[in-house]
Amino acid sequence: MIAPRLEDCVNDLCPLTRRPVSPDALTYYKGKVVGFADRQARDTFLAAMLTFETAIQPPPVVHYSMPLKKRQKELEAA
């Protein structure tokens, strides 16, 4: 991936600290370059984003290898 560039940044102020964006604290978010005041603010944002993205993932789809009625009979017998 290409390193984010300050000239592509969509914001002038850090969304966390409201201080000016630093050129060494940029990241991509949903395909756009977002800037932060410092690396700590950027890393805090990335950690929170990962936590929320993980939390809202849909549950995995379960596929059975046998027909459901047969599976139900096996569970009832157990």
Burial readout 16-27 (b: 16 or more C-beta within 10 A, e: otherwise): eeeeebbeebbb
Which amino acid is located at 1 in the chain?
M
pTM equals 0.68
Four-residue CA torsion sign, 12, 15, 18, 22: negative
What is the per-residue pLDDT for 35?
A: 98
Which helix (H) or strand (E) is 32 found in, with range?
strand 32-35
Task: List pLDDT tens digits, range 5-46.
Answer: 999 999 999 999 999 999 999 999 999 999 999 999 999 999
Which tokens hold the place of 38?
């410092």
Whether 54 shows a pLDDT value over 90: the answer reads no
Which helix (H) or strand (E) is 43 found in, with range?
helix 39-55
Instruction: Output 52 or 43, whichever has higher pLDDT.
Output: 43
Task: List pLDDT tens digits, range 57-76.
Answer: 887 777 766 666 776 777 78
What is the per-residue pLDDT for 65?
A: 66
Task: Answer whether 36's CB lies under 8 Å from 25's CB.
Answer: yes
